[in-house]
Homo-oligomer: A and B are copies of this chain.
């Protein structure tokens, strides 16, 4: 099948598939005489794997590791678990960070009357303790 078909079956764009080939995340596709890339169901399956992993927030680098473990019939389940756990940790940290930002901003927004008057607590906070109306 053509790249467009493989793209819609796997959920990613044709652009992305070519990109993954470019960076060596996936092997170069077979080519027809016309030069068009030609994909099998197995190829699509691999693309789906990648799509799912990326949508779960694994980086391309992590996908590379997961792929090599996926392709290795003797891989240890523990290796995969370690990658996943590491990733869970990263995600937790990111959530904490965002939550802290959100809390701060919500506090500021609450304090802001949000009318036409120029006195804004949000700007005051950003400007620090000693606002400077240059």
A residues in contact (CB < 8 Å) with B: 42, 45, 48-49, 52-53, 55-57, 66, 69-78, 80-82, 84-85, 87-88, 91-92, 94-95, 98-99, 101-102, 104-106, 108-109, 112-120, 122-123, 125-128, 130, 132-134
State whether B45 touches A81 (Cβ < 8 A): no
CA distance A119 to B74 in the complex (A): 9
State whether A102 touches B109 (Cβ < 8 A): no
Q: How many identical subunits does the complex contain?
A: 2
Residue in B70, B101, B117, B132 whose CB lies within 8 Å of A57: B101
Prevailing SS type, chain A contact patch: helix
CA distance A104 to B53 in the complex (A): 11
